[in-house]
Amino acid sequence: MKIKKILKMKKRLSIKRKLKIERKLKIRLKRAASTRLNKRLIAILWFLVKFNLLAVPLYALMLMNVSVPALQSFVAAAVHNGLGMLGYDSSLNGYFVTFSSGLSIVNVEMNFDCTGWKSMYALLALCLATPALWKQRLRFLVVGLPAVFIINILRIVTTIAAVMSFGIGYLGIVHSILWQEGLIIAVVAVWYLWLRRINSIL
């Protein structure tokens, strides 16, 4: 009888110990989860602060009305060649692209905004604000910035092609509605893919 009582006592003690261990583990897991959450929230907050600070030069450049004729001419030439590849006739004069739409002759100036510098700067700001190693940032920018530049050229080419095919009335739909939002989505998508690749805390 004594042996049975001792065995029962041992079982009760072992059950109590297991319950204590389980409780301790649950508490530790909760603390670890809250710590990870706090770290992520701090990282997101710091990311937003840095991104907004990096936006200041963007607005400064916009107010200064900067112009880079060499870059604008390069974009105009790329657009002209792109239209030619798609079978559309256009003429090039400096950073002006001229084409016909129905009975109208349209002369489009590739101003500084047409170079896609805002989108590329936004990608640069997103990259610099993201917690990552400098090597990772440089590798991303080497690929990401040219990708956004090419997407911007495609934006202009497809917009002009749509106007040449369907008329000047489609300019607002393609340029302002589809591509204005589409370019923002493209920039965020390029950045997001990199974010997932480096397993950022964000």
Q: Which helix (H) or strand (E) holds 82?
A: helix 69-85
Name the band, by pLDDT with cuts 50, 70 and 90, for residue 82.
very high
**60 pLDDT higher than 80:** yes
* Domain parsing of the chain, residue ranges: 1-50, 66-197
CB-based contacts of 128, cutoff 8 Å, min separation 6: 50, 54, 137
The structure tokens listed for 13 are: 């003690």
Query: What is the value of pTM for the model shown?
Result: 0.78
| Average confidence (pLDDT) over 133-138 | 94
Name the band, by pLDDT with cuts 50, 70 and 90, for residue 9.
low
Per-residue CA distances from 64 to 74, 122, 190 (Å): 22, 18, 28
**10 pLDDT higher than 80:** no
**43 pLDDT higher than 90:** no
- Average pLDDT score over the chain: 84
Judged by average pLDDT, the poorest of 24-33, 80-89, 108-117, 171-180 is: 24-33
- Percentage of the chain with pLDDT > 70? 83
**7 pLDDT higher than 50:** no
| Average confidence (pLDDT) over 147-157 | 94
Q: What is the pLDDT of residue 98?
A: 92
Q: What is the pLDDT of residue 177?
A: 73
Strongest mean pLDDT among 35-44, 104-113, 136-145? 136-145
The answer to whether the beta carbons of residues 50 and 129 sit under 8 Å apart is yes
**144 pLDDT higher than 90:** yes
Q: What is the pLDDT of residue 103?
A: 73
How far, in Å, CA of 176 to CA of 84, rounded? 24
110 CB burial (10 A radius; 0-12, 13-18, 19+): buried
**15 pLDDT higher than 70:** no
| Average confidence (pLDDT) over 69-91 | 93
